[in-house]
Copies of this chain bind each other. A is one copy, B any other.
Amino acid sequence: MPSTPATRRIALDCMGGDLAPAAVIEAAAQISRQTAIELLLVGDRAQIEAALARTSANAAQIEILHADDAVHMNDTAWQAARRLQSSVALAAAAVAEGRAEALVSAGNTAGTLMHAARVIPRIAQIERPALAAVYPTRPRPHNPDPFALLLDVGANLNCTPEDLLDFATMGAAYAARISKVSRPTVGLLNIGEEPNKGDELLRKAYALLAAAPGFEFHGNLEGRDVPRGVVDVIVCPGVLGNVTLKLLESMGDVVLSLGEEVFRRKASWRVGRWLLRGGIARLANLVDYSSYGGAPILGFEKIVIKAHGRSNARALENAIKVAAKAVREDVCGAIACGVHEARRRQAQ
């Protein structure tokens, strides 16, 4: 059925993620009750129906598409690629065919990337779609949304300077439409602030970024700037982004567990710790970077959101809402325009 501007249809990989299918179905049920978003649930029909029966989902907004197979969380990239009848493969195909407008999966990252790439066209002139991580930062003056985008975080291990420029353009288009920043700021992750810092890739990327339209180039950033939230979009090659993201994710854990050990040593500290328990839980939640919706995969003609493998129902609800918002705000169109404009400027 064709969607009106108000109703968006999201294909949901019900078999992907550590807590699938239960958490995925729970999120779907919530979404169907609280929003007008329509859902195409892709996966094992018997399991999906059994899980749905335990919820009070609004059946009118839900359709099921059966899949015999599923990509496993620990499948290698090659194993994942061969599962052509998996839930994520069929969900991607449904998006490519227009049965849904966006794909959300909490499954195996390589599987989601490859099955999307197999059937969903890339935006014209984009060589490499990128995996972007959304992470919380301190509030920035010009951006009320306390989130920033880091890309690429592992989809592209060998990048050219032009790829890094595309990442910046795509990330800025996403930030402009999702966080409503009129002119997003972009930084290049490097080993120092000066323009001549870094290897050849980073120096050439700096020059391209400084000349690019579509965003405000802040220059080079250092590792310490990542959690501080200096810019809206940070670009870097995939290995660097992946290590950075996983370090960020573990940050809260390590400091909180060190705190637990230290605070146990004195009676007054134990009392203080007990009084603070609610505050500490809130802090733990703030720095749990895995609970923040999903990571958009940018560069396809359709929206693809990769939710964290550990996503619970609440994180999946956020991912579905972000996917619907990205469709509504035509993020893919904004990316196409941004890349077109950047190429035109480069050719001048």
Tell me the A residues contacting B by CB distance below 8 Å: 76, 138, 154, 157-158, 189-191, 194, 196, 198-200, 202, 222-228, 236, 238-240, 242-252, 254-259, 262-263, 265-266, 268-269, 271-276, 278-279, 282-283, 286-287
Across the interface, do B275 and A246 meet the contact criterion of CB distance under 8 Å?
Answer: no
Across the interface, do B240 and A222 meet the contact criterion of CB distance under 8 Å?
Answer: no
How far is A136 from B272 in the complex, measured between Cα atoms in Å? 26
How far is A225 from B248 in the complex, measured between Cα atoms in Å? 11
Besides the contacts A190-B243, A269-B276, what 13 more A-B pairs have beta carbons closer than 8 Å?
A138-B254, A138-B257, A158-B200, A190-B239, A223-B249, A223-B250, A226-B243, A247-B247, A259-B283, A262-B283, A262-B286, A263-B276, A266-B279
Across the interface, do A157 and B191 meet the contact criterion of CB distance under 8 Å?
Answer: yes
How far is A52 from B119 in the complex, measured between Cα atoms in Å? 73
In the complex formed, the residue of B with least CB distance to A189 is B243
Across the interface, do B262 and A199 meet the contact criterion of CB distance under 8 Å?
Answer: no
Across the interface, do A276 and B279 meet the contact criterion of CB distance under 8 Å?
Answer: no
Across the interface, do A265 and B279 meet the contact criterion of CB distance under 8 Å?
Answer: yes
A191-B154, A243-B191, A246-B223 known; A268 and B275 CB under 8 Å? yes
Across the interface, do B224 and A247 meet the contact criterion of CB distance under 8 Å?
Answer: yes
Q: Which of B154, B272, B278, B283 contacts A258 (CB 8 A)?
A: B283
Nearest chain B CB to A324's CB is how many angstroms away?
30
Q: Which of B76, B222, B255, B273 contacts A276 (CB 8 A)?
A: B273
Number of copies: 2
Q: List 7 A-B contacts (CB under 8 A).
A: A191-B238, A223-B248, A226-B250, A240-B243, A255-B287, A268-B278, A271-B275
How far is A226 from B254 in the complex, measured between Cα atoms in Å? 10
Across the interface, do B226 and A247 meet the contact criterion of CB distance under 8 Å?
Answer: yes
How far is A83 from B229 in the complex, measured between Cα atoms in Å? 37
In the complex formed, the residue of B with least CB distance to A156 is B199
The 5 closest A-B pairs by CB, nearest first: A223-B246, A272-B275, A272-B276, A224-B250, A223-B247
Chain B contacts for A246, CB-based, 8 A: 222-224
Across the interface, do B191 and A242 meet the contact criterion of CB distance under 8 Å?
Answer: yes
